[in-house]
Structure 1
Amino acid sequence: MNYSMIFYIIGWILDVEAALLVPSLAVSLIYHESCALAFFITIVLCLIPGVILVRKQPKNKVFYTREGSVTVALSWIVMSIMGSIPFLLSGSITNPVDALFETVSGFTTTGASILPAVEPLQHGILFWRSFTHWIGGMGVLVFLLCLLPLTGSGYHMNLMKAESPGPSVTKLVPKVQSTAKILYGLYLFLTVMEFVLLLVGQMPVFDSLCTVFGTAGTGGFGIKNDSFGSYSTYLQGVVTVFMILFGINFNVYFLFYMKKPKEALRCEEARWYLGIIAASILVITFFVRDFFDSLFLAFHHVAFQVASIITTTGFATVDFNLWPTIPKTILVLLMFIGACAGSTGGGIKVSRVVLLFRSLTKELSQSLHPNQVRKIHFEGRAVDHVVLRSVNVFMAAYILIFAISVLLIGIDNFDLVTNFTAVAATLNNIGPGLELVGPAQNFGLFSNFSKLVLTFDMLAGRLELFPLLLLFYRGTWKRF
C-alpha cells in the first residue's frame, strides 16, 4: 500500500475543498451573514493539514486499484467531515451526526435532508448545501485530475474508475487527464446552459445557481420548503429537461462533441433510459390524471417527478406520496433502476439492469439448449465475461447491503414502507422516499444510529459499493 501517495492526494482534496468553500464565503459576505465566520474557519481548518500533506511530493507514485479505491473512499469521508463544519459552527445544525448526514447527502447528490424547513437558513449555508451537489456530481477526484498529474503515468485510471459511476469506465481519449478535462468541460457547458434558461424564466440569480447545482449533480436540495412546487411551469419544465440530460451517459455528449452524431444516437443504454422514462410518464399520467385540473398539468408534473426519481435528483413539485399504489410502485422501481452509467445520476444504472435481463434470458435459453453457444451483446459489442461477473457481484453486494440496512434501521420501529424506501432513497442517492420520508417529510425522525447507517448507504451508493467496502476488508491492508 502506497500510504504516502494516499495522504498526498487527501492533502490535495483538503486544499481543493478549501478553495470550493470560498464561493459560499463570498455569498455570506454579500448578504452580510454571520455564517461567513464559519466558512472562514472551515477554510483554515482544511488548509492547515492540506498544505502540510502536499508539501512534499512522494517519490514512489505507483498507484494500483487497491490504492485507488482506498484513496477515493477516504477522500470522500474526509471531505464530508470537513464539509459539515460550516453547518455546526453557524448553528444551522447543532447535532454533529445530522450535520454529517446533510453534508454526505449533498456530496453524494442524494438530497435527503434532516431539516424540517430550509427557508430560514442563511444564504451562504443554502448555497453550500446546493454547491456540494455540483462538486459531488462529477466527482472531486475527477476535478483534481483536470488540474494535476497526481500519480505516475498510467495510474490515473485507477482513481477515475473508483469514483466514476457505472459497470465499466473507459477513457474518452488516450490520456486520462484529458478525459477528465473533457468531462468537466461538458459538465460546465450543460450547467451554464441551464443557468441561462432559468434566468430567461425570471428566476432570481441566487435561486438559479442553487437550482442548477442541484440539477447538474442530480442532487435535489431545494431552497424552498416545498422543493420546486412554487416555481412556474416554464421553470419546472426547464429543470425536467436538464434532469434527464444530466442522467445520460456523458460519452454520448462526447460523441456529439467529436461530431459523431450517428454513433451517439446508437447508444443503446441512452435509448433504454429514454424509453423507460417515456413509458413511465404515460402510465403514471393515466392513473393520476384526476388529481390535476387538466391532462397537460398531469403530464407536466408526472414528467417532472419521473425525471427526478430515475435520475435520482429528488426535486418534487407535488406530494407523490398521495398518488395511487401503481404510480408509487413505478416510482420505487425507477429508484432502483437509476440513470445511465457515466452520468451524474445514481441507482443501479440502466446498463446493469439491461445486462442482468439479458443474462437471465441467456440462462433460460441455455437451460433448454445446453450445447448452445450464445454471447451477450450490448452497445453493438459482445460483453466480456469480466464485466458480467462484476455486474453480478455488484448486485449480490447491493442486495446484501440493502437487506442489512433495512434490518438495522428497524431499531427505530417505523413502518416497513418508511424503512424500505429510506434505504432505497439513500443507497440509490435519490432523496425522498415514501410515507414518513416522503417528499413532504424529512429524515430527521431517525435516531443517530439509523442516520449513520443511512449515511454509509449514501456513500456506498455514490462510490458504487466496492471502494467503501474495501476499507473494511482485511486483505486491503495486508502487505504483499
Structure 2
Amino acid sequence: MIHFKAIGKVMGALLMLFALMMLPGAGFAYYFDTGDFDALLQSSLITFSFGSIMFFSFSRQDQNIRKREGYLIVSVSWLLMSIFGMIPYLLSDLSFGISDAIFETISGLTTTGATIINDIEAAPKGILFWRSMTQWIGGLGIIVLTVAIFPLLGIGGIELFVAESPGPTSDKLHPRIQETAKRLWYVYMGLTILAGVLYYIGGMTFYDAVNHALTTLATGGFSTKNASLAHFTSPFIHYTAIIFMILAGTNFTVIYFGLTGKFAKVWKSDEFRTYISVLLILALGLSAPVIYYSGQGVEKAFRDTLFQVVSLVTTTGYVTADYTSYHSGLTMVFFMLLFFGASAGSTSGGIKFIRHLAFFKNSWLEFKRIVHPRAVVPLKINGDRVTGKIITHIMNFLLIYLMIFTISSIIVSLMGYDLLTSFGAVATSLGNVGPAIGRVGPMDNFAFFDPFTKIFLSFIMLLGRLELFTILVLFTPYFWRAN
C-alpha cells in the first residue's frame, strides 16, 4: 500500500522550499523596479501557503518512504513545481497563456533551455532571474537538496535520492545519504559562485553574471540576452563558459574526488576519460571544416566549434554561432550530438556517456562471444564487472529512448510541422538540450508551436529529465498493485 499521507508531507515541504527560492527574483524586481515585484511576491506567498497546508496537515504521519513512494514523490514533485513555478509568468506583464507558462517553466526546471520568449532583453529582470533560478533548482535536482535537509523535518531520504539520481549508477561520497547530498550541493554551489565571479571579471554586469552562472552549472542555457552568449564577444567569457560546462557535465562525485586530491579515482573513471576524449576529438575534428565553410580566423572558428560541441554534448544549449549555417553535413553532425548527453551524476540531460560506453563495449564483446561461445566474457566498467541486470536495463533504456523519439517526432509532424523541425524539437526536448535544427535552430525559439505541441513537448522534457523510467513506471499496473 502506498503511503499517500507521507507523500503529502514531503510535497508540502518541497513547495515551501520552492516558494522561498522565488524571493531572490522578487529582490531583483524591486531593485530594478521592472514592475514584476508583486507577481513574484504573490507567487511565493501562494506557493508557501499551499505547501504549509499540506505539510502541517500530514505532519504527524509515519514517514516510511519506500521505493514506490520515492518514485511517486519525484514525479509528482516535478509536476507540482511546474504548476506553481508558472504562476510568476501568469501574474507578470508577459501576456503568457497557460501553454506558454507551462512550457517555459518545465523547460527551466528540466534544464532544457528552450524558450518561447521572443524578446528576452525586454522581459522584466525579476522574471528572467526566476527563469534562471528554475534551471539552477532543476540542475542537480531539488530532491538531492531536500534529502540533505529533510532529516531536520523528520523525513528520511534514501529512496528519493535513488529515484532522482541521474544515470544508471549513483556513487556515494559518504555512507549516509544526507552527507552525500550535502557534499554534492557544496560542490554545486561552490562552482556556481566561482563561475559568477569569473563572468563578472570577464565583463558581464553583476546581474548577467549571476544569471549565467546559475544556468551554466545547471547545464540549462537560459540567457538574459536574445543572442545568448554570442552577445558577449569576449573570448574570456566564452572559454570560462566552456570550462564550467565541461565541469557541470562531469559526474559530481568525480569532481569531488578531484577536489579532495583523489586523482587516482578520477582517472579510474572510464566514463570521464571517454567524455573528455570525445569532446577533444569532436572539437579538433570539426574545427577544420568550420574554418573552411565559415571563413573565420583559426582561433575564432576553433572557439566556436569547441563551444558548440561542449554546449550540445553537455545539453547546456548556449549559442555563440549558428552551426546550421556552415554546411548540411555539419548540421547533421551537430544534430547527432543531441543524443550524447554528458556524464551520469552530472546536471546534464541526454542518454549519458556511461550508457553509450556500456553499449559499445558490450557490442564489441559480443563478437568475441560469437567466436568463443563457451567462454565467459564479462563486461567491465571502471575495472568492475557489470551485471546482466544493469546491461539489460541500459539496453531497454536505449530502445525505449529511440522509440519515444520516433513516435513523438511522428506526432509533432502530424501537427503540421516539417520533418526537420519535428525531429529537432523532439530530440532537443527529450535530451534537455535547447537548440536543434529546422525551425528550432540555435537562432530560433519555440514560440511558433501551437498550444498542444508546447504541452506535448513539455511532457517529453519531463520524460527526458527523469530518465524515462521514473515517470513511465507510474503507467504500469505493477506500480499500483498492493504488496
After TM superposition, is the score higher than 0.5?
A: yes
Tell me which residue corresponds to 2:106. 104
Alignment correspondent of 1:57: 59
Equivalence map 1:171-250=2 (5 Å): 171-231=172-232, 232-250=234-252
Residues 212-234 of structure 1, C-alpha deviations (whole Å, 9 max, x = no match): 11101000011111111121121
Residue identity matched to 2:239: G
| Cα RMSD (Å) | 1.5
TM-superposed deviation, 1:93 = 4.0
Q: Does 1:321 align with 2:324?
A: yes
Q: 1:268 to 1:104 in 2, by over 3 A?
A: same
SS in 2 for 1:284: helix
**What corresponds to 1:394 in structure 2?**
397
Q: Which of 443, 448, 453 is residue 445 of structure 1 equivalent to?
A: 448
Structure 1 residue 26 displacement after superposition: 0.7
User: Bigger CA drift: 373-382 or 362-371?
Assistant: 362-371
1:138 to 132, 137, 140: 140
CA shift, 1:458, in A, is: 0.6
- Could you tell me which amino acid in structure 2 is paired with residue 302 of structure 1? T
* Cα pair 1:312 1:346 within 8 Å, conserved: yes
Q: What is the identity, as a one-letter code, of the residue corresponding to 1:134?
A: W
Match in the other structure for 2:270: 268
Deviations 1:117-144 (A, max 9, x none): 2111010011111111111101111111
Give the aligned residue type for 1:7: G
In structure 1, distance between residues paired with 2:17 and 2:407: 35
* In structure 2, C-alpha distance between the alignment counterparts of 1:375 and 1:358, rounded to whole Å: 10
1:436 to 417, 439, 448: 439
Shift of 1:58: 4.2
Percent of pairs with identical residues:
36
Aligned counterpart, 2:341: 338
Q: Is the deviation greater in 237-246 or in 407-416? A: 407-416
Aligned residues: 479
Who is 1:14 aligned against? 15
Say whether residues 1:462 and 2:432 are aligned partners. Answer: no
Q: 1:175, 1:115 → 2: CA distance?
A: 43
How far apart are the structure 1 equivalents of 2:272 and 2:424?
26
Q: 1:124 to 1:152 in 2, by over 3 A?
A: closer
Counterpart residue identity of residue 4, structure 1: K
Q: How does 1:304-383 map to 2 (within 5 A)?
A: 304-383=307-386
Q: Name the aligned partner's letter for residue 304 of structure 1.
A: F
Q: Which residue of 2 aligns with 1:126?
A: 128
Q: Corresponding residue for 1:404?
A: 407
Q: Structure 1: where are the runs of 5+ without partners?
A: none
Q: Distance in 2 between matches of 1:411 and 1:129?
A: 31
Residue 75 (structure 1) aligned to one of 77, 89, 100: 77
1:9 is paired with a residue whose SS is helix
Q: CA deviation at 1:151?
A: 8.9
CA–CA separation in structure 1 for the residues paired with 2:80 and 2:474: 14
Distance of aligned partners of 1:57 and 1:150 in 2 relative to their CA distance in 1, 3 Å threshold = farther
Structure 2 CA distance, aligned partners of 1:420 and 1:152? 46
Letter in 1 for 2:3: N
Counterpart-to-counterpart distance in 1, 2:199 and 2:23:
24
- The residue type paired with residue 451 of structure 1 is K
Q: CA deviation at 1:181?
A: 0.2
Q: How does 1:262-301 map to 2 (within 5 A)?
A: 262-290=264-292, 291-301=294-304
Between 251-260 and 275-284, the greater mean CA deviation after superposition:
251-260
For structure 2, the residue ranges without an aligned partner over 5 or more in a row are none
Q: Distance in 1 between matches of 2:476 and 2:98?
A: 27
Name the counterpart of 2:93.
Answer: 91
Distance in 2 separating the partners of 1:69 and 1:53: 19
Cα pair 1:338 1:346 within 8 Å, conserved? yes
The alignment's TM-score, normalised by the length of structure 1, stands at 0.97
Give the Å deviation of 1:325: 2.6
Does the 8 Å contact 1:62/1:151 carry over to 2? Answer: no
| Amino acid aligned to 1:386 | K
Task: Evaluate the alpha carbon distance shift between residue 374 and residue 58 of structure 1 in structure 2; reply closer, same or farther with a 3 A threshold.
Answer: farther
Q: What is the rounded CA distance, in whole Å, between the counterparts of 1:282 and 1:416 in structure 2?
A: 30
Amino acid at match of 1:345: S
Give the Cα separation in 1 of the matches to 2:311 and 2:268: 25
Amino acid at match of 1:390: H
**1:438: Cα distance to partner?**
0.3
Assess, with a 3 A threshold, how the Cα gap between structure 1 residues 293 and 258 changes in structure 2: closer, same or farther: closer
Contact 1:308 1:315 in 2 (8 A): yes
Q: Deviations over 1:346-385 (max 9, x none)?
A: 1100000000111211222222221121000111111122
CA distance in 2, matches of 1:434, 1:10: 38
The answer to whether the Cα contact below 8 Å between 2:219 and 2:347 also exists between their aligned partners in 1 is: yes
Contact 2:20 2:48 in 1 (8 A): no
1:288-316 CA distance string (max 9 Å, x none): 10314311110011111111000000000
Aligned-residue offset at 1:198: 1.1
Give the Cα–Cα distance (whole angstroms) in 2 for the partners of residues 246 and 59 of structure 1: 38
Of residues 109, 112, 115, the one that matches 1:113 is: 115
Which one-letter code corresponds to 2:406 in the other structure?
A
Counterpart for residue 29 of structure 1: 30
